[in-house]
Structure 1
Amino acid sequence: MRKIKKIKKILIKVKNILRSSWYIYYYYHSELDERMILLDSKNGKDLGGNVFRLAQELSGNSEYKNYKLYFSSNKNTKNQLKKLLKAYNISYSSIVKEAGFRHYKILARAKYLITDTSFPLEYIKKDGQTIINTWHGTPLKKMGKDIDNQAYSMGNVQKSLLAADYLLYPSNYMKNIMVQAYCLENIFKGKILCSGYPRNSVFFKAEEGEALRKKLYPNKKKIYAYMPTWRGVVGKVQTNEQIAEVESYLLQLDNALAEDEIFLVRLHPFVAKAMDYSKFQHISSFPEGYEPYDILNTVDCLVTDYSSVFFDFANSGKKIVLFVYDKEDYLDDRGIYVQLDKFPFPQVYSVDELVNEIRKPKNYDDTEFREQYCQYDGLNVAAEVCRHVIKNNKVFQEETVEKNGKENILICCGVLARNGLTTAFLNLLEHVDKKKRNYFVTFVKSGLKRDPLRVKQLPSWVGIVPISGFFGRTPLEVIATVLYFRKNKKNDWIIKYVDRYYSREFYKHYGSCDYEYVIHYSGYGEKMLTMFQNANRKNIVFVHNDMVKELEGKSNQHALTVKRAYASYYKVVPVTTDIYAPTYELGKNEKNIQVVNNCHDYKGVLNKSNKKVKFDEKTVCSISEEELCEILDSSENKFITIGRFSYEKGHRMLIDAFDRYYERKKEGYLIIIGGYGPLYSETLEYAQSLESRNRIIIIHYMSNPMPVLKQCDLFILSSIYEGLGLVILEADTLGIPAISTDIPGPRGFMREHGGYLVEPNSEGIYEGMMAFNRGEVHAMNVNYEEYNRIAVEQFEQLFK
């Protein structure tokens, strides 16, 4: 069975490589077909809404008879799509399988691409292509960056919006939300058409709705539509639970409806097929073969909840009822832009209330609502949009996203793990002059999947540009990247295809925007490092460690990539003069090296230190929180270090030093607080094997260790190699004496400010503990206001 699964995985990989190669061949070698239009509704899962109405216009208007329409469809919707195209007499069209070989060929050749969501991950916009992104609804629920636990995954949608030549919106309300939620400010280069939604024109055709009503439901006096939102997160579809809940309410409703009433239901596509309507007498699904809004135009009343459909249906002037039985739970979980109570529509919470309300005539005034949220909707929007975009007859006033005239800086800081490197990055953002430049933070989606809330560490004023990952290599590029990264082979042929791939990846993810500089702040990760090397922008890489030692002792860096980067980047930035020499040794280019000290958020450290000692849910400690607090309140010496559980932090020799100290003094505690790192279990096991085990406290993960640090007596940096070691500055800010091993990185800072250095071994650390015991180690009391002023000046020099 395992062999079969392995073979299947291999076959899938081979298929993906072949498909990518197919697409890339046409991307490089095919000309655009000026008469080819690709229409994609919800990534092939549907054909409806704005995309459908534009298709109707393109097919039904003789002005476009020479254009060929291609509709993307997945295997589950192909038959439905065929029937819909036939029913609406949409000709000059073909259906292509979403993410199939033909689909990718058309992606590379179509002059016009129309979508209401996004394109496949591999898609790269070609010069000359025109993209229309209509989106698929006015947002009530929060979107993009505004969803704390989903902001990390918005990359492909954002990329598709940024690549668009035209964004269509029905109101200023929606325009402003989309621009802000997807961080389009200052980087979107296309046009915004406040055109109204093509799909909403149907609500200005009451006579067509009446005719269809008589055809479909001649014996019904009252027709209601129910279109609830989907309750869930993409990739976590809880179909059974949702269906059971909806079915329970529908059964109650079915018993209450009269013979001349019908309740039409359209559930979200993720759950729609799981509902069995045969058990109802007065309830049925929307009839097949019709675009849903045509059916919606026949009804007397819309019942919904938090779905954006009510923004559209309001154009009809008919009654809207909000059935919000789970209002409190839903809104706590997701969040919305406008509270429901601000809207004029009646809200009901039970089936009895719902039946009573839908039978009442409309008893509210929604004039103000329509003026705000249906601002630009009108009768012939599809025709006007096609004329504006395809025929280049400028029907609408084109708007642009406002730009403030400042340079755009794209900056990567790895996966934003809660460690010293991220702390240094956040400190930098805290101190940069926001009046001079716009900053956008980028990262790979997969790196934050396990802890999406890491994005919340970023200040609200920065833009975020997540990317979905690295996709789309040809066989030659696969061979070249494997030889380069895995086999450490390098020649002109290998470099040619490695660079071709990563330059294309940069253009795919960021090429639609103007970034003056791209900064790889973390300096880790060969893929991002290579992609930024091929950015065709002024590129800057920071160096936070002695990379010669790092390459010797760890496997998280790739020597060939580091050497190429340090040799060719526009600027290479060690964060302390102490690591200038190893940085030069790797790149051999003294002209591009420029030292920039890390900033230090001393005010933030002071604020954090005033909070109570508190474990997080993920905290694992060798003693309880209460026991830790008792130790911190004791009069015995408390030695502390803070750093990830990895080799270079020197935890073992620190433990050995403390074990010797305790053997001699019979007093004191050693507290080790570490975040992520491979040596946690090994460190804990070793500590527990010693005589001093009851005096060594090992803490795995603590989001705010400052209250603990504040109550300790001596901070010890025991690293074998290091960058600066910002936690030294944090200890000093709190008035805690510190000792450090005498190594490049912290050495320069400690000497400059009168710090205490010891030999980088257990003997040296032990001697440092004894020196502290004799009163020879004192806090440095650095002026961090002046320190930060100099660091910011150094940072500003990078852009001159």
Structure 2
Amino acid sequence: MKKQKVIKILHGFLHRYKPIDSRLRRIRGYQLLSKFGRKIYHNAVIRLSSSQRFYLENFDEIGVKKNVILFESHWGKNISCHPFAIYQALIGHQKAEDFSIIWVVNNPESVPAEISCRKNVKLIARDTIDYAKALLKAEYLVNNLTFPDYFIRKPSQFYVNTWHGIPIKTLGLDTNDRLFSFANGQRNFIQATHIPLAGEYAKKTTVDSYGAKNLNSHKVCKIGSPRIDTTLNTSRKSVLKRLGINYNKKVVLFAPTWRGRIGKPSMDFGFAIKALDHLSISLSDEYHVLVSLHGLVKEKLKGSLKGGFNFVPDEMDINEILAGVDILISDYSSITLDFFALNRPIILYVPDRSHYESERGLYIELEELPAKVVNELPELSNAIHNAVKPSEFPSYTAAVGKFIPNEDGKSSERLLSILFGSSQNLPVKESTKKKILVHPGGLLANGISNSFVNLVENIDHSKYEMTFIVDAKATDSSIIRKEYFVRLAEKCQVILLYPGIGLTFDEAKAYSKFTSKETNPSCYDEELINAAFRKEARRVFSDNSFDIAIYFSGYTFYWAQLFAHLDTNKRVIYQHCDMYAEASNSNPNRSLPQLNAVFSSYKHYETFVSVSDSVRIENERKLKSFYPSKYSTVTIENSISPSDIKRKSEIPLSLVSIQCATIINTTDHLKFVVVGRLSPEKNHKRLFRAFSILIKEEKKKAILFVVGDGPLREILKSEVRQLGIAEYVVFTGRLANPYPLVKACDCMVLASDYEGQGLVLLEALTLGVPCIGTNVPGIKCVLKDGIGILTETTANSFADAMITFANTPKKKPVIGFSAENYVASTLDSFYRYVCDEKISNDVVFDT
């Protein structure tokens, strides 16, 4: 834990320091200091992660060994759950003696003697060199949680991911938890070759809830729950004997689930203390109470209980103990569903039910279960004294059929038959849909994100299975990103990147050369990068393949390389603007020199998509030397969603911005609006100077609404003050829904130096709002054929266009633009050039 905290502190500091470091590296003397600091950081992280370092350095050197099987349960905390049940079945299997068995267990003293004394069993601790070796060489790996983020299943390895219970509480994407908290869980499902589960309900609430439905559903084995084998195949008397409990006692197990968030269990277990104190008073000597709590909570409560209760011993599996239990008191724990297999009384004590349901969420209405639901303490002891078997509830048969339909004590045997049978791989489920993988970028509040969301809204999902992948940690960091994510996840499969590419020392040096402006990578460096990203693609996607892979943003070296090395039939990369201009922009607020590293990955792509013809021509002219020998460059314009734009524009402006609504309703001034990031390429200063000419020299009554945010916010506010037009310019900040304001204005203006394609212009035209824009690539492709007014890239020219518009007695409606036909055209291009579909009918345009 100390090592992880050090790494976290280092990462946090460097993340905040990175922009400063980038600027200072322009100073020659500082470059050497920065390089030295980076080397120290890299070496420190390597030393702090010795098991990861060993794993990566020896990934290709240590081969997989036949008949080596590794078991891990709860990150090595104990020997229990499904892995323990599968181990027991293996010991009884005819091939048992042929296997070398490795158990991951951090405390060897808690291991039962019958396991530790076996000659073919080896005990190792997690996060050690031995652990890394075992991950590399084991032919079979069995885990009920997750292997580390650096683990990569080799093609000849078989990974059985059992999960650790049949959920009652929501998991994964069904929760409000951070995406990062379960990203590695999803990744482990993707890595797995076999996922044994109780049935369809268990699949929907684990694999599906983690977003792996279409990625690994064909690996699911609905054979029953192995750990319930332990419960069914263990005698009550043997359990009581081991626990030292009188056979004539009625054994009550109090086992509430943990509270809190993943990685941060709540220490507030006051309700548990009260319940146990109540039981100590209300239960007679004929009952023996066992207690099972989260490890951290257990340590806290040991000295807080009045009664002489026994905690379940660490060396015993909870499913073994269930075999000796007469009455179970639980709540939202998965062992509740396990216990149904014994048909013994269950009491659900849920004093915090309403809070828990609203905070965490449940898949089940508790009344659906054949169990007594209790909310208050006085009811608890009464329920124990009048305990009723599940089979006496009307819902019993349906509950068993839904939650535990295959439990006969032989689930583990069925799994071993699949693993060791003639066909070790499950049949792959073929889909008739074309599989498309997309990385949309950082899901920032910009045109790229909006364009991708609109594409997802418009595409034919009956023909295309679209999967998008995002950095889980980055998405968690912003409400805006999370909003985009939720919209996309409603219609697409999602892969959550667990960030942190694993690099060897040499690979890390090569990576630094590619992403550094000061150094030039060699052919050997390129070989190292290719090897690193082949591993990374397998770490992220395992053996999943896609028909088409689209890097939709096109701005980051990591993603460009990742998509270059995954298993796909076609690689597509988007160019949303003049990419060379972006890379060589002299303004430090916009300069993106890392694009040079992206350009070096172009050789791996077949199709280059620009969002306008003029941008396509510029990109091909300037970047052709980076393209492969065979390539195609195509134009696919940004997609819009007319129905969404129009629907959102109908929302009262007062609900979007009271300030803007008040100004709109109380003035008859001409109203201009500009929407976009406050960054250099938008050249708001040119717009402000033009607007000042309109106001001060032409004496026109006008208001300019500036919608957006960005690094130049304070500089631009200072500019309007210096021009003396501050009272006529309204900075609204970013508006989640700018359409009511755009619709209420008379004209959209855009004075950019360059654009990919003016998406905000398309949105304004959809609402019937006239537009003025500079005659640059990305704008002139929208405001063509008289649809809008184009000006030269000077303040005076832009002012002339605004003056002409202001002097027009009656504003002309937008002519020649049909939003619906525009969408049809963009989809036609996407299907034709990206999906390689033959489009039989050409789109007819209104003029």
Question: RMSD of the TM alignment (CA)?
Answer: 2.8
CA offsets, 1:18-56, max 9 Å, x none? 644421343212221112111121222343110111222
Letter in 2 for 1:757: L
Equivalent-residue separation in structure 2 for 1:314 and 1:329 (angstroms): 26
- Once the two structures are TM-superposed, the CA of residue 94 in structure 1 deviates from its matched residue by 2.0
Residues 672, 22 of structure 1: alpha-carbon distance in 2 compared, 3 angstrom cutoff: same
How far apart, in 1, do the equivalents of 2:603 and 2:619 lie?
10
Q: Give the superposition deviation at 1:410.
A: 0.7
Give the equivalent residue in structure 2 for 1:670: 704
Query: How far is 1:772 from its partner?
Result: 1.6
Whole-angstrom distance in 2 between the partners of 1:614 and 1:330: 36
Task: Tell me what 1:497 maps to.
Answer: 528
1:327 deviation in Å?
Answer: 1.2
Preserved contact between residue 567 and residue 587 of structure 1 (Cα < 8 Å): no
Q: Number of aligned residue pairs: give it.
A: 780
Is 1:318 equivalent to 2:344 in the alignment? yes
The 3 A distance-change label for structure 1 pair 235 and 713 is farther
Paired residue for 1:175, among 200, 203, 207?
A: 203
The residue aligned with 1:467 is 497
Cα deviation, 1:660-695, whole Å, max 9, x if unaligned, reads 3333436322211114x3223333444455532233
SS state of the match for residue 752, structure 1? coil
In structure 1, stretches of 5+ residues that fail to align are 617-624
Residue of structure 2 in register with 1:784 after alignment? 819
Pair 533,636 (structure 1): closer, same or farther in 2 beyond 3 Å: same
Per-residue deviation at 1:595? 0.9
- State the match for 2:29 in structure 1: none
Whole-Å Cα distance in 1 between the matches of residues 452 and 582 of structure 2?
20
Cα distance in 1 for partners of 2:347, 2:51 equals 48
The aligned residue for residue 619 of structure 1 is: none
State whether residues 572 and 607 of structure 2, in contact with CA within 8 Å, keep that contact through their aligned partners in structure 1: yes
Instruction: Give the residue type in structure 1 aligned to 2:754.
Output: Y
TM-score relative to the length of structure 2: 0.86
Contact 1:186/1:404, CA 8 A, preserved across alignment: no
* Residue of structure 2 in register with 1:749 after alignment: 782
- After superposition, the Cα gap between the structure-2 partners of 1:556 and 1:282, relative to the gap in structure 1 and judged at 3 Å, is farther
Matched, 1:417 2:444: yes
- Match among 280, 283, 289 for residue 257 of structure 1: 283
| Residues 271, 705 of structure 1: alpha-carbon distance in 2 compared, 3 angstrom cutoff | farther
Deviates more, 1:83-92 or 1:169-178: 83-92
For 1:90 and 1:689, how far apart are their aligned partners in 2? Answer: 83
Which segment is superposed worse, 657-666 or 425-434?
657-666
Other-structure match for 1:594: 634
Distance 1:540 1:13 in 2: 35
| Closer, same or farther: CA 787–353 of 1 in aligned 2, 3 Å | same
When residues 426 and 85 of structure 1 are mapped into structure 2, their CA distance, relative to the original with a 3 A threshold, is farther
Counterpart pick for 1:146 among 174, 181, 185: 174
Structure 2: 5+ residue stretches without partners: 11-36, 837-847
Structure 1 pair 701–266 and aligned structure 2 pair: CA distance change class (3 A):
farther
Contact 1:18 1:475 in 2 (8 A): no
- 1:39 equivalenced with 2:71 (yes/no): yes
Aligned CA distance change for structure 1 residues 738 and 90 (closer, same or farther; 3 Å) = farther
CA distance in 2, matches of 1:3, 1:392: 46
Give the conservation status (yes or no) of the 8 Å contact 1:189–1:513.
no
- The one-character-per-residue Cα deviations of 1:424-445 (angstroms, maximum 9, x if unpaired) are 0011111222232211001112
Q: Do residues 212 (structure 1) and 239 (structure 2) align?
A: yes
**How far off its partner does 1:765 sit?**
2.8
Task: Give 1:771's aligned residue.
Answer: 804
Secondary structure of the equivalent of 2:269? helix
Q: What is the SS of the residue equivalent to 1:730?
A: helix
Give 1:545 shift: 1.1
Change in 2 beyond 3 A, CA 1:336/1:14: same
Match of 1:737 in 2: 770
1:480 counterpart residue number: 510
Residues in 1 aligned to 2:720 and 2:564: alpha-carbon distance in whole angstroms: 43
Partner of 1:296 in structure 2?
Answer: 322
Equivalent of 1:700, from 727, 733, 740?
733
Q: Distance in 1 between matches of 2:597 and 2:144?
A: 39
- Contact 2:637–2:826 (CA under 8 A) maintained in structure 1: yes
Matched, 1:442 2:469: yes
**Alpha-carbon spacing, 1:502–1:546, altered in 2? closer, same or farther (3 Å):** same
* Residue range with higher mean Cα deviation, 51-60 or 786-795: 51-60
Displacement after TM superposition at 1:261 (Å): 2.7
**Residue 773 and residue 319 in structure 1: after superposition, are their counterparts in 2 closer, same or farther (change >3 A)?**
same
Query: What is the distance in 2 between the residues matched to 1:609 and 1:329?
Result: 37
> Are the structure 2 counterparts of residues 164 and 530 from structure 1 closer, same or farther at C-alpha, using a change threshold of 3 Å?
same
1:540 corresponding residue in structure 2: 572
Question: 2:612 touches 2:778 (CA, 8 Å); kept in 1?
Answer: yes
2:45 to 1, 6, 13: 13
Given the superposition, is the C-alpha separation of residues 471 and 705 from structure 1 closer, same or farther in structure 2, using an over 3 Å criterion? same
Residues 280 and 753 from structure 1, CA distance in 2 versus in 1: closer, same or farther, beyond 3 angstroms? farther
Instruction: Identify which of 433, 437, 440 aligns with 1:406.
Output: 433
CA distance in 2, matches of 1:295, 1:277: 23
Structure with bigger RCO (C-alpha 8 Å, 6+ apart): 1
Report the CA distance shift for 1:286/1:639 in structure 2 as closer, same or farther (over 3 A): same
Question: Equivalents in 1 of 2:245, 2:61: separation in Å?
Answer: 54
* Contact map agreement 1:574 1:594 (CA 8 A) in 2: yes
Q: 1:668 to 1:317 in 2, by over 3 A?
A: same
Counterpart code for 1:352: P
Taking the aligned partners of 2:459 and 2:213, their CA distance within structure 1 comes to: 19
Deviation at 1:560?
2.8
TM-score (norm 1): 0.91
Q: Relative to structure 1, is the Cα distance of residues 267 and 279 closer, same or farther in structure 2, using a 3 angstrom cutoff?
A: closer
Question: SS in structure 1 opposite 2:768?
Answer: coil
